[in-house]
Amino acid sequence: MPKANKVGKSRINAKSDKLNESSRTTDDVPNRESKTPQLSRGQKKKLAKRQQYEARMKMVNNSLLLQSHRSKKKSDCLLSGLSSALPSVPSPSPPPPPPKQTSIKTNLQKQKLSIEEKAQHKLVLEHPTFKSNPFEAIKLHLNNSLAEAVPASKKVKEVKVKRNGSRKRN
C-alpha cells in the first residue's frame, strides 16, 4: 500500500489554479514573450548613464538654440534701420572675373610654347625702337600695357578718408 501524504496549502492552491485555468480567457494569461527582457545590473547602470547623458545634451542644445534665437533677434533689431536705407544705396559694380588658372602643360605643349616665345623674342630684338634704346622701349611697353590697372588703384588710394573726416595725405 502506498504511503499517505499530507496535502498542504501549496498543493491545494496548485489544484485550484489548475481548475481556474480552464475558466480563464486568453486576455488574462500573461504572455511571457511580450515582457521586456530583464536587464542585468551593469546594463541598467549603462542605460541610466546614457539617459543622463542624453538629458544633459538636450539641455545644452536647448540653451544653444535659445542663444542663437536671441542673437538673431538682436541682429534683426540692429539692421532694421538699414533695410529702409537699402533701396537708396547704388548697387556695387560686378566683381572682376577670376584670374585664369594655368593648366598643367604636357611636354609637347611646353615645346610649342617655347618655340612661340623664341619667335616673339626674336621679333622684339629686331624692333627698331628696341635696337636704339632697349630700356626706353621696355618702359614704354610697360606704361602702355599697365596704364589701365594703375589709375584705378591710385583713385582708391586718393579717396581714403579718416574717421574724423579729414582726407589722408599720400
pLDDT tens sequence across 15-56: 666 656 655 555 555 555 556 678 999 999 999 999 999 999
Q: What is the 3-state secondary structure (H, E, C) of the chain?
A: CCCCCCCCHHHHHHHHHHHHHCCCCCCCCCCCCCCCCCCCHHHHHHHHHHHHHHHHHHHHHHHHHHHHHHHHHHHHHHHHHHHHHHHHCCCCCCCCCCCCCCCCCCHHHHHHHHHHHHHHHHHHHHCHHHHHCHHHHHHHHHHHHCCCHHHHHHHHHHHCECCCCCECCC
pLDDT tens sequence across 120-160: 999 999 999 999 999 999 998 888 888 766 665 555 555 55
| pTM of structure | 0.28
